Amino acid sequence: MERTILHCDMNSFYASVECMCNPSISDKPVAVGGSEEKRTGIILAKNQIAKKYNVKTGETLWQARQKCPHLIVVPPDFKKYIHFSKMASKIYNNYTNLVESFGFDECWLDVTGTEHLFGNGEAVAETIRKRIKSELGITCSIGVSFNKVFAKLGSDMKKPDAVTLITKKNYKSKVWPLPVEDLLFVGKVTKQKLNRYGIKTIGDLARTDFKHLETLLGKWGYYLWGYANGLDASPVRDIENHADIKSIGNSITAPRDLMTINDIKIILYKMAESVTERLRENNLMCATVQLWVKDNELKSYERQAKLIVPCAETRELFNTALALYLKNHKTGKPVRALGVRAHNLLPSGSYQLSLDPEINKIRKREQLEETIDAIRQRFGHHSIQRCITLTDTGLSNINPKDEHTVHPIAWPVN
Ligand SMILES: [Mg+2]
């Protein structure tokens, strides 16, 4: 059966929420970003008006000010964004239980087979678009298609406040003329590689022999060729249904460049803490930790290491991630974004009792953290904090962005 997938993307999310909560700035250029006094502050989001001044996400406040001297900069308030994100999820859940989030502001919905209740995909998308606008006071763009990759592409095509339909009939005329980097997972490096071989558009990619792409990009070449041809068959993952979680990770772009090892420690700790909290919530532990680092020149790398013993304990994950950082961050360049991910997951409790005192310490700390989880559930996350995270509240006030594994996308091979 042909599927009906929606991808909802709330426009300029952080900036829209700030303007919604403070209407006196909504007709001015607004950006959400790091500290202004420190010249290292970075733009995390901007509204439509700031966009007209060519203010870009990821650049420094100082650069943005050159283009737009009267830019209003608001510090990020992640509690507010999570609240709006939850309100949106409640709306989505009225139409399907198959909702997969992709950051705070984006979600895929599988609404296949709901026509008799809510109308076709386009009709559901229109209903959701209008509800987000009237109930949250912000706009969203929605792509409707027969797979996730094209639905995501559709939500990017018309912004803000719009619905775009990509069907099996129109994808060649609508999608193929677009630049190849518009396709999900085609990053800067892949784009450059493809461009070098004359592959400039998604159509060029679709028409290239996939064997040639495989020699160029490995197995990703084959996947991307499939996406370009509308053959993505990956399911919308119901995150609640965690039976098949493959990894749990958090990554964030810091509100300012991370200059010192203490900055790095604060962020790594926050992320390790949130990853292990989610592991415990899902009754899982992990055997491997992966660190992802992006420096201020937007160069990134990933490294992973095995834990002494599979666990869901913050300090063990933190220590391993920090050791990876110290071993691999040889350039010493300031860091813009960091991620920690737990891999090789297994059910918690599936370990043998150990006589090793080191391992016993880890198990004891794990029990302590379960108690902390219970306190936090009752009195709120901020009711109990680790000292290190209080040394720079500007950094530790962030909430890591939840990320779930992007599963390898499969499609029927003829
Ligand atoms: Mg968005």
DSSP β-bridge partners for residue 404: 248
The pair phi, psi for residue 271, each rounded to 5°, is -75, -45
Ligand 1 center–CA 109 separation, angstroms: 15
β 162-165/140-145 pair status:
parallel
pLDDT at position 203 over 90:
yes
Per-residue burial over 363-374, b if 16 or more Cβ lie within 10 Å, else e, is: eeebeebeebbe
Which comes out higher in pLDDT, residue 106 or 239? 106
Q: What is the mean pLDDT of residues 235-255?
A: 73
Max avg pLDDT among 68-82, 154-168, 291-305, 377-391: 154-168
Ligand 1 center–CA 10 separation, angstroms: 4
Which comes out higher in pLDDT, residue 280 or 164? 164
How large a percentage of the chain has pLDDT more than 90?
A: 55
- Indicate the Cα dihedral angle 150, 156, 159, 162, nearest 10°: 10
Which comes out higher in pLDDT, residue 241 or 363? 363
CA distance 137 to 302: 38
CA distance 89 to 87: 5
Q: Are 156 and 115 in contact (CB under 8 A)?
A: no
Max avg pLDDT among 99-113, 152-166, 210-224: 152-166
**Residues belonging to the active site:** 106
Query: What pLDDT is attached to residue 19?
Result: 95
10 Å Cβ neighbour count for 319? 16
Instruction: Return mean pLDDT, the chain.
Output: 86
pTM of this structure:
0.63
Burial class of residue 390, CB neighbours in 10 A (0-12, 13-18, 19+): exposed
CA distance 110 to 95: 9
Ligand 1 center–CA 18 separation, angstroms: 14
pLDDT at position 6 over 50:
yes
Query: What pLDDT is attached to residue 132?
Result: 97
Pull the structure tokens for residue 82.
Answer: 């999570």
Query: What pLDDT is attached to residue 410?
Result: 32
Query: What pLDDT is attached to residue 36?
Result: 66
Summarize pLDDT for 353-409 with one digit per residue, the tens.
Answer: 566 777 778 878 887 887 777 777 666 666 676 666 666 666 665 555 433 333 333
Query: What pLDDT is attached to residue 408?
Result: 30
Ligand 1 center–CA 116 separation, angstroms: 30
Query: What distances in angstroms separate CA 230 from CA 37, 72, 134, 191, 293, one per listed residue?
Result: 48, 42, 33, 19, 32
Ligand 1 center–CA 130 separation, angstroms: 16
Kindly list the structural domains of the chain, giving each domain's residue range(s) and its CATH number in brackets, ordered by start: 1-167 (3.30.70.270), 176-240 (1.10.150.20), 242-404 (3.30.1490.100)
Q: Are 152 and 183 in contact (CB under 8 A)?
A: no
Ligand 1 center–CA 157 separation, angstroms: 12
Which comes out higher in pLDDT, residue 171 or 273? 171
Q: What is the mean pLDDT of residues 107-132?
A: 95
